[in-house]
Structure formats: C-alpha cells, structure tokens
C-alpha cells in the first residue's frame, strides 16, 4: 500500500512540475515574462518596401537588440504591398509560435489582429487604430493583445499648410488609395478644415495602381493644390504622381517626408526611425519586463519631434518660395 501511495504522490509531483513548466513557457499578454531561458523570437511583417517603413523596422530592431542583445531572433518578412501576403506571413508566425509580432503598416496589423488573440502584436506606421481594426469609439487603448505606435500627425495643421503654401488656391484635390481605411480618415479630417476655410474640395480615390494615373490626372485637372495623406500606395508611387502633377504645375502637400521627397512641395512629418524605436521599447517592456499589452495605450510622436520640411527641387521648378520655419528635405538620389 505504501508503494502505491508513493507512486501516486510521485505522479502528482511530476504532473505539477509539467503544468508549471507549461505556464512559464510561451507568450502571455497578462504581465508575465516570456520563456524560461530568456530567448525570444519576434516575427516582423512589413507591408511593403519603402524608406519610411524601412526606417521604422530598423528602429524597432535596434531598440530590441539594445536591450536584449543575442537573446532575440527576428523572423523578418515583407508582404511586397499585397494585403493577402500579410495574412500568409502572420499565420506562419502563429504556426511557429513566435513570442511577439511586429506589424509594420495598417494591412499588416489588421492581418495579425485577425490571426491571433494570444500572441502580443505591436503595430507601427499605423495612423488610427480604431479605423484600422474596426473599433468603434476607440479610446486610445485597444484592450486586447494589440498596442503600438501611430504615425498620425496633426491633420488640422497639415490642412493649414495647404492654405499657407498655396494661398491663392480655390480648389483642393484630396488624392488617396481607397483600399486604405486610414487614408480615408485623414482626407475626411483635412477636408473639414479646408472647407471651413472656404476652399472647394473634392476627393480622388484610386483602387490600386491600375487606376492611379487616371485618377491623378483627373485630380490635377481639377485642383489648384493637392493633398495626399500618409498612404502606403501613394508612397510606393510618388514619382508616378509627380510625373503628372509637376508638369501640370499643381503643387502637392504631403502627409510624410518619404512622399514629399517623391512628389510634394512640403510636409509636416515624423521620424519613422524614432517611431520604430519606440515600438521596440514597448516590445522590451512586454518580453523582458512582463508588461501587460492589454493595458498599453497607443503611443504618438510628441509635437516637438515633428519636422517641417520642403522639397527644394519641386518648389524651385514651380516657382514657390519656401516658408520660414521649414528645413530643406534631404531627397535620396
């Protein structure tokens, strides 16, 4: 009888130890650190290759490596501008049980949000998370396994730029990709401000690159000035937009520096490396310090870190004098 009791007690002890091991390994969104050996794997899904998004990914990696060194492994993949690829990538991350997903740009964070309810997801280069994730009355904290950083600049100030840089404008075109919900949000907000200033506004939405040129041509024929928001498809096709608008002598106010470098005269832009670095610091809080992602609010770039920039080449060609307080944008050759 004593032998039987001893065997039962031993079995209970083994099962208890196994249960503890299971509870301590894997990812938690509830304030526990990850893993038992300090080693973690982070899956990075970037929507498309672009200087702004590239900088955000670089900043993220640098922040995580600075805090965790050799204990972190990155599985970095690029969706090449296809939302369906984002879903494939993040589902692969879920299957391989990564410890955290960094989703760079709106389609990536939306795909990750739909793929897992348990693995922590940090977004970056996302304008408005309520719009991106379909959350009504968004309060600033997602409350699930998602948090991150936003690239939203002050849209009212961007609208002010339109009238400051092109004070004679009567008609403003708002050009964006209809497949990007955050772009629609931005142009709606800017339109409200511009119409309040007496400008006639019209939105020009293209579905994808197949109709971008035709829609841009229509915008250039209508408008005295064009506003383009922070929009991934616009960013990836800025030179094509410039090839239509510059010859038509229609200036463009851009939502961020990368787009401005391709087709704009001026922008009020954040630093995407800093944005990514902040996202990396949030990842360290979760993976190393045990922070609860469900309680982490979305982080924004402070106003004092926003840059006011102008594109010297396009301003010169269009005969536009740069406004005081703006710095020359460094345009890649």
Q: Which of 313, 317, 316 is nearest to 329 (CA)?
A: 313
How many CB atoms are located within 10 Å of the residue 248 CB?
A: 14
Both tokens assigned to 179 = 């497949």
Question: Which has more pLDDT, 13 or 106?
Answer: 106
240 lies in the same domain as 318:
yes
Q: How many alpha carbons fall within 13 Å on the CB side of residue 77?
A: 18
Judged against a pLDDT cut of 60, whether residue 323 lies above it is answered with yes
Q: Is residue 99 in some structural domain? A: yes
118 lies in the same domain as 98:
yes
Q: Is residue 15 in some structural domain? A: no
Phi, psi (5° rounding) for residue 328? -65, 130
| CATH number (domain holding residue 265) | 3.40.50.2300
Q: Is residue 127 in some structural domain? A: yes
Judged against a pLDDT cut of 90, whether residue 60 lies above it is answered with yes
Q: Is residue 53 in some structural domain? A: yes
72 lies in the same domain as 194:
no
Q: What is the mean pLDDT of residues 86-108?
A: 97
Judged against a pLDDT cut of 90, whether residue 9 lies above it is answered with no
Rounded Cα–Cα distance for residues 218 and 225 (Å): 13
277 lies in the same domain as 265:
no
Q: How confident is the model at residue 20 (pLDDT cuts 50, 70, 90)?
A: very low
By percentage, how much of the chain surpasses pLDDT 70? 88
> 0.85 cut: is pTM over it?
no
Total domains present in the chain: 2
Per-residue pLDDT at 333: 53
135 lies in the same domain as 281:
yes
286 lies in the same domain as 160:
no
Q: Is residue 95 in some structural domain? A: yes
Range of the domain at 229: 155-269+306-328
Residue with tokens 């926003």: 306
198 lies in the same domain as 105:
no
Q: Is residue 14 in some structural domain? A: no
Q: Is residue 280 in some structural domain? A: yes
């Amino acid at each position: 009888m004593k032998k039987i009791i001893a065997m039962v007690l031993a079995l209970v002890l083994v099962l208890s130890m196994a249960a503890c091991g299971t509870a301590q390994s894997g990812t938690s969104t509830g304030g526990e650190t990850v893993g038992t050996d300090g080693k973690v794997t982070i899956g990075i899904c970037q929507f498309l290759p672009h200087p702004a998004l590239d900088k955000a990914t670089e900043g993220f990696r640098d922040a995580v490596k600075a805090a965790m060194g050799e204990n972190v492994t990155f599985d970095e993949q690029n969706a090449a501008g296809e939302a369906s690829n984002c879903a494939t990538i993040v589902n692969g991350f879920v299957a391989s049980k990564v410890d955290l997903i960094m989703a760079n740009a709106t389609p990536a964070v939306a795909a990750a949000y739909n793929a897992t309810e348990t693995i922590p997801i940090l977004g970056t280069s996302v304008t408005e998370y309520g719009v991106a994730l379909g959350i009504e009355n968004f309060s600033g904290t997602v409350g699930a396994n998602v948090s991150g950083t936003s690239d939203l600049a002050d849209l009212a100030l961007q609208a002010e730029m339109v009238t400051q840089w092109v004070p004679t404008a009567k008609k403003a075109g708002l050009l964006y990709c209809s497949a990007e919900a955050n772009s629609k949000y931005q142009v709606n907000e800017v339109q409200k401000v511009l119409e309040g200033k007496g400008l006639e506004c019209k939105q020009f939405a293209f579905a994808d690159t197949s109709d971008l040129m035709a829609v841009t041509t229509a915008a250039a024929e209508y408008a005295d000035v064009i506003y383009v928001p922070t929009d991934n498809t616009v960013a990836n096709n800025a030179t094509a937009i410039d090839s239509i608008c510059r010859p038509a002598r229609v200036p463009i106010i851009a939502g961020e520096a990368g787009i401005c470098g391709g087709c704009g005269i001026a922008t009020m832009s954040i630093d995407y490396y800093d944005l990514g670095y902040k996202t990396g610091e949030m990842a360290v809080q979760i993976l190393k310090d045990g922070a609860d992602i469900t309680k982490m609010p979305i982080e924004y770039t402070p106003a004092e870190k926003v840059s006011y920039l102008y594109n010297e080449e396009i301003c010169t060609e269009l005969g536009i004098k740069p406004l005081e307080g703006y710095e020359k944008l460094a345009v890649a050759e």
